[in-house]
Every structure is written in C-alpha cells, then in structure tokens.
Chains A and B, each alone.
Chain A
C-alpha cells in the first residue's frame, strides 16, 4: 500500500502525543486473560495468552492477518470457547456466560447491521431486548445518533448508508447498551484512507467521552500507534510485546515487532559492556544495559533516526544507492560495508555520493537475538 508508506513517523508520534495528553487512566484490572489457548481442529491458533486489560483503557491487538486477533475477540464476546485457560471479568470467570449475558458488545468487521431494520431500530435492538420503555429508548437512541453524528438518519434503510455511516450505526448500536467493554474488529478496514483517519480520531474521542474500555483489533500499525493506550503485538498466536505506542515503537523487543511496527534497519552486533554496543566494527554509546559481555544482539535504528553527516567525522561511511521522494520526506538508501541502510530525511542527496551516517545513543535500540516468546 502506497499510502501507508507515508507514515512519516514524526507525524505519527506527534499524533500519539496529542491524543494521549491529559487522559487519566485508572489502573484497576477489568479483564484478565489467563493462559488462554485455542485449537481449531488440532491447529493451534492461540498459545497461552496472558493479558490484563485495565478499566478505561484503549487496548489494541495488532498483528498480521491470521495471527489470532479475531479469535481472542470472539472468545471475549462468547462466540467461541477456548480450549484452555480462563477469562476473568472483574475477578470472576465469564467462560460459562452466553454472549447475551456478557457486559461486552462488539462492532463487527463488516458491521453486521440488520438489513430488515432501519437505523433507529438497529440501534434500539439491544434496548428493546431489555424491555426498556419507549421514551427511554427514543432518548438513548437520539443521544447515540448525536454521538456518532447521524442525527436525522433514524428512519433510513441501513443499506442506503455509505460505508462510514454504516460503521457509525454499528458503533452506536453497540455503545447504546453501555457495555463495560467494546470490542472492535478491524472496524475501519473497509473505509478509504481519508475516512479512516477521520474515524480514528472520532473513535478515540468517543472512547474518552464514554470512558468505556475499547479492545481494538487491527493489522494497521499506524492505526494502532495513533489510537491506543496499550498495544499488544501478536504473531502466530503468541503475544510478542505489550506496551505503550511509544515503547513499542522505540523499544521493539524483537525483530518481528521492529519490522511490523515500521521500516527498520536491523543490524547484528555485540554488547561490549553496559551502554556500549559494537556493530559495523565500530563501538557506539547506547542506553541499554544488562546484557552479558559480548552477547550477540540485534541493533534497531529507525530510518528517521539515521542522520546524514559529513563523511570525515562520521562513524559509518557509505555510498548513496537510491533516492525516492515520498511526499513528506525522502527515502534514501545508503550502502555501508555492503549492507543497506534506509534513511528518512527532508534533505535530498545525490546518487553515488559518499556520505557519513551517525545516530544518537538514545536512538540505538538493542534487542535480544531470536527474542521470540511471550512476555
């Protein structure tokens, strides 16, 4: 996808900052997922997942397609029962509760709006089942329509709505039941880029306004970085890393996370001592410690953290191999000792130039080699 390339990271990080300013999170655990495993016909889909989800949190399950994200959501909602493990909701196991008894609502990937009901009745569906009074239903539905900016659409046929509007109805339909937790399964995947970005912002707003815990599933790392309080990176049924967007972005725990979260330069090296790392036959200062002396490690450097400098004073020297204009920045490829380094910068360079590269110590991220495993 061309567009996701532009996730020029400074932009992303700024967004993270602006979204998360001032949101105060309580630390009470709401959901505890304990040793959760799931097999489908002998195929292991989830392996001993452990995860705590706090009240008012915006938590994102991020991972490539097929890694088991939807399965976790469906287990939480009650559509699938796990092979092993337990789920505690406010300290009590909910595995034996049917979906209709759980204080959880879902926004389905393809919306799953009821085609035989209009917008109003779709949203009122849960309230009617609870046998609420008519005036209460009207009031609540109206309030929801205001929240999702669909006032005046009450009697519209859901099939006559655009994708974005259907999406809002799906959200309103779930939120009107005042669930403790809202599960969202790639809710924006079917929308076009511009609408998606708008909805990201609005969803985040809604979450803050309502104070409901959101568990959000996506395979789009930018979406995860922009919206979440906590990101859970998954791969093939395993949790790779749990952390804030900034943690995940800056301190990927392993190659998978580093690659999945964004384009990275990953270079093999050794830890010489605490705060000293060697790669490309140079010793660099860094901020990591606690490794064995001379332990082999991988070094991660984000493309925007590599700086092109004068070749005489630089620790790394290489030749510019390609320059691509990407809108906000240039993507420049420099070959150093036969290894490609990708650099994002606002200044262009000429192909064939010999340039120097440098990196600040806090931008050198050291991770264990083959660091695949659970938390």
Chain B
C-alpha cells in the first residue's frame, strides 16, 4: 500500500508512545531523586536502591511473587496441557461442558473470581496464605494454557497419533513422542501467559492470601494508598531493566534463529 508513513501518522504514533512511556519514564527518573517528595528534582542519589535492598517487606513480597509464579506456571502448564489433550479426545458434548466452565475465570471479572474463591477457602476453613494464593493462581492460569494448547491440537493431523500407534507406540508414548512435540508452540505460549498473569496478578492474590504473605502487587497497592517513598520507584526501575534485558535477549535469539532459517532456505 503506502510506502513509508505519512508525517501525521508518525506524529500520532509518537504521541501514543509518549502516553505509554511517560509514566515509566517518571518512575525511573524519580528513583534517582534525592528528595522524598516526587515531582521536585533535588539531586541525584542511589539511596532508594540501598533502602530497597534492606526493605524486608519488599524482599519478602518479591520472593513470594517469584516462587508463586514459578510453581503456578509449572503446575498450570502441565495440568493444562494434559487436560487439553484429554478434552481433545472427548466427544463434542463433553468438550462443550468442560470448555464452558473453563471459560468462567476468563470472562468473569477478576474480582468476582477472587471473592468466590475466597468464600470457598473460608467456608471450608482453610487458612489463607501462600498455598491458597498458589492454588488460586493455578486456577486462573490453567484455562489460558488450555485455550492456547487446544487450537494446536485441533490443527494437528489426527492421523499422526494413529501413525504413532501403528508404528508400535502405546497411547502414552504417542502423547510423549508425537503430540507433545507437535503442540509445543501452544504449550510455550500458554506457559508465557500463565507466568505473566501470575507475576502481574493483583486482584486474585489480594483476596486469597493473608497472614503476612503478600506479593509485589499487593505491597505496591498498600504503599500507593498511603504515602509513597521512592523505594517503589527503585523497584520499578529494576523491573523495567529486567524486562528490557529480557526483550533484548529474546530478540537476539529470535534474529539469530531468523538468520539461520534464511540461510537454510537459501541452501535449497
């Protein structure tokens, strides 16, 4: 269509990115600010980082966030993949039932999902804490894993499984040696969704933990409600740095793969 972008399009995108990145820039900037009050620059300092590393509450929250994300990602990825394969092998009617229930946490407002689970825990008399938080995370991430794996299964040539069994594979071997490699991209993207949602979750965790167990979102929420110290900015800056590094690495791997692929194509 149109070669390059018209000036007004560039301006539009530029303003959009200004909108998206201004808050992040502000966060990073004031993490180096001498004064405790944000909005007034008084000089460069690293003392908030120092304070951050000595802040046990934040360190704890960070620890819980990461451990919870790792456990819930691993469990929900395996659980969701296995369930998706099971669903795929059932009749349409069974599939519909399961998928409808599976959709509930996806379309229900987070807060409704959160309080319903909280009511369950309390009604059964389970003390809310780290375990309940992890279980809650597994509960809301597994449906996303299923939703990203299932289309892969449906796109797979159904004869592949027959072929594997024909060549001597038991059903379990067919799953391991043929189905899993086939649906791997779906599993990976499901896993990424699960991890992102767990790391980022606020509402579900907020209602389903107690007794000193928190995660970063909850801590930030509590701090932001009251008076905020730039330690939070220091935390934000570190997060930004991690994300940018992560993206950079992924991009490098990606472009390397791309180059390899191109070379292969040219060989032909």
Contact = CB atoms under 8 A, between A and B. Distances in A.
User: Does B bind A?
Assistant: yes
B23 interface: no
Contacts of B168: 100, 126, 129-130, 177
B163 A100 contact: no
Interface residues of A, number: 27
Interface stretch (B30-38, B177-185, B198-206): B177-185
Given A99-B166, A105-B167, 10 more contacts: A79-B165, A79-B166, A98-B165, A99-B162, A100-B166, A104-B166, A106-B163, A113-B163, A129-B169, A173-B163
A113 B178 CA distance: 10
Interface of A: 74, 77-79, 98-100, 104-106, 108-110, 112-117, 125-126, 129-130, 160, 173-174, 177
Given A115-B182, A160-B268, A105 B160 contact: no
Nearest to A176: B167
B157 interface: yes
A177 B167 contact: yes
B42 interface: no
B162 A173 contact: no
Interface in B119-171: 157, 159-160, 162-170
Contacts of A106: 162-163, 166
Nearest to B165: A99
B173 interface: yes
B182 A105 contact: no
A177 B159 CA distance: 18
A265 to B, nearest CB: 41
Q: How large is the interface on B (under 10, 10 to 19, 20 to 34, 35 or more residues)?
A: 10 to 19
Contacts of A174: 166-167
Nearest to B167: A126
A125 B165 contact: no
A110 B182 contact: no
Nearest to A80: B162
B160 A129 contact: no
A77 B178 contact: no
Contacts of A130: 168
Contacts of A108: 159, 162-163
Contacts of B162: 74, 77, 79, 99, 106, 108, 112
